[in-house]
Amino acid sequence: MSGSDHPILSVVMPVYNEIATIDEILAQVLASPEVREIVVVDDGSTDGTRDRLAEISDERIRVILHPVNRGKGAAVRTGFAEARGDVVVVQDADLEYDPAEYPVLLQPIRAGLADAVYGSRFLAGSSRVLYYKHRLGNGLLTFLSNFATDLNLTDMETCYKAVRREVLQSLDLTQERFGIEPELTAKLARAGARIYEVPVSYRGRTYAEGKKIGWRDGLKAVWCIWKYGVLHR
């Protein structure tokens, strides 16, 4: 690591049809002094996002294109493999999570306490009030994941997971869609990674605003919890 007090941060940004928000989220991430690079992985966008990304010339941004849509997990795995920083964090392109909170995520790693830090939407902080059933679903998935891994997380499904790169790139991740969240959690637990949680704010989107996760992804997450947390223990 380049220095425990000042780890260099790689931001992996999976993108699929985010033309409405891509400029704003890139500006927010680049405004953070923590960031060395952004690895943008466009997962087969068809709404003009690719054309916009082609116009960007900032040397801190690397753009990787998937020929077809494969899923968030596939995009995240591509970004993980390409990341060069000391610490890697996933940043969705939809403005639900605030890049100004990167220092909060990095603090336990800087202190030498953690290998991975989860930004929990449910510990504290401000959050947009949205779907009650989603909150119940998140709680159930976190409960099942915790039961399988013997962790005590409050928000397993959070996008904000900051992980030391050498730990992250030692994991054999395989999921193509949203199953990447329980898979990563189970494999970090199995590797003995020191995991911390910190509170983060959350500005969730409605489906009308472009939210993509659905009930089928919840069922797949349950299967992934069983597969990686129990069968492969």
Give the DSSP letter string of 38-52.
Answer: EEEEE-S--SSHHHH
Helices (H) and strands (E) in the chain, counts: 8, 7
Domain 9-231 in CATH 3.90.550.10: yes
Predicted pLDDT of residue 212: 53
- Tell me: the pLDDT tens digits for 134-148? 678 788 999 999 999
The rounded distance, in Å, linking the Cα atoms of 151 and 110 is 22
Using N-to-C axis directions, what is the helix angle for 215-226 and 180-190, rounded to 10°? 20
Q: Which residue has the higher pLDDT, 185 or 129?
A: 185
Lookup result for tokens 């679903």: 137
Read off the DSSP letter of residue 206: P
CA angle 132, 134, 135 (to 5 degrees): 65
Is pTM beyond 0.85? Reply is: yes
Domain boundaries, given as residue ranges, for the chain = 9-231
- Tell me: the pLDDT tens digits for 11-43? 999 999 999 999 999 999 999 999 999 999 999
- Tell me: the pLDDT tens digits for 185-221? 999 999 999 999 999 998 865 545 545 566 677 788 8
3-class state of residue 189 by DSSP: helix
- Residue 174 neighbours by CB under 8 Å, 6+ apart: 77, 183
Closest to 182 (Cα-Cα) out of 211, 153, 207 = 153
